[in-house]
Structure 1
């Protein structure tokens, strides 16, 4: 440092700032170098450096430049009040970050577990036949898919009450399916097409389900003994009926169910 002051580059390096920042603060009159070399280059004096150090401290505390200017240039102002306001804002931000951390923790757990319920809660909500290993098996099979990620994102925000409501809606719908078949509804008629669309809407509570995906699920209802047993317990033959109804609804929408794929 010369007797007159410190050049801009050295000042920036000493305070951990950029030369551009110092130029900006100079331009807005927040911190300007008081001295000049004979060649006209700016030099920061000891007093300038002290002001800059105070600016750096207040900026690290989160104060904006206008607030910093008010503290430095209005001796009669109450610095403590300014800092109290900043502290209150910081406390609010900390609370927001804590909430975000909680949300992220639930998202991580949902990606890993699928359903954020204890085994007892799962059996109580989904019924005694529910296998608590199914979510883990589903993650093992589909954990890298977009649909699993969407499922987990939604599951992260669901409470036990939310899952109970979803289960009740599905149970009521399945009973309605059985009643429709008993009443003579056939795959492809208006009643069955309406039920198929409602079925897709209900499934989309977990992840967006396209008609092609629904066709693939319909095949699984017949091919997988767990699903066929579930639907046939509502009404004998319901698994096959629902699969055919889904196929006919897809066909009416211009989709060949025989060639539909998971997309």
Structure 2
């Protein structure tokens, strides 16, 4: 019986209880646990059900959920996404790849998360991945290139240094938000292949050395945030900026001193300025 493991009614009045370990969990037991106000850590063993009870998602303070030896468990409840404070997660299990119907993965503010498992590429239906404020995240697996339905990828305030080149094959990607990724040094070649991309937010990417050639092919781009004129021919020239005509928010341009032909800068910047979208050009280019 469930009562052999925890004293149900007493749990409701446990003001300082932050950790619970149970041998098995029923819907009634999950409902009782959900009323523990300060619960941070929950360990469940030997589940005989195919899914966790829905009410487990009502534990707003939960930071860690550990499920052991639960061979019948097939899926997590849809409402599991309501858990907002799981900020001590360091990694996801490889078994996440078995969640064939998973559409949204929100791990924002998981400050200890260092990487995603390769099996993330097996989540064929996933359309949105949010890794904002995952401050220890430095890389993405190449397997993310298999997430063909991915539309939104948020990497705000991560420590990503480089994106895998295969990301340029994600033809359905509409939003790639890298704002505040202070360690980002470059973008992959072929980014112009992302024909549906509307947001490529590079605001405050302080180490970005330049833009990849072909960025001007992003004809649907509406938000960029930052355009860096890199030094050398391997980077896109500022003239490509003239082809991105839909940008509707402020745009900062860095490295304008690297422009070889002042006419390119004049024409590109003029087109943006006419639409009242240019906020900062940087050092003035002599005519």
Determine which structure has greater relative contact order: mean sequence separation of CA pairs < 8 Å that are 6+ residues apart, divided by chain length. Answer: 1
Higher-strand-fraction structure: 2
Would you say same fold, with TM above 0.5? no
* TM-score, normalisation: structure 2: 0.28
* TM-score, normalisation: structure 1: 0.30
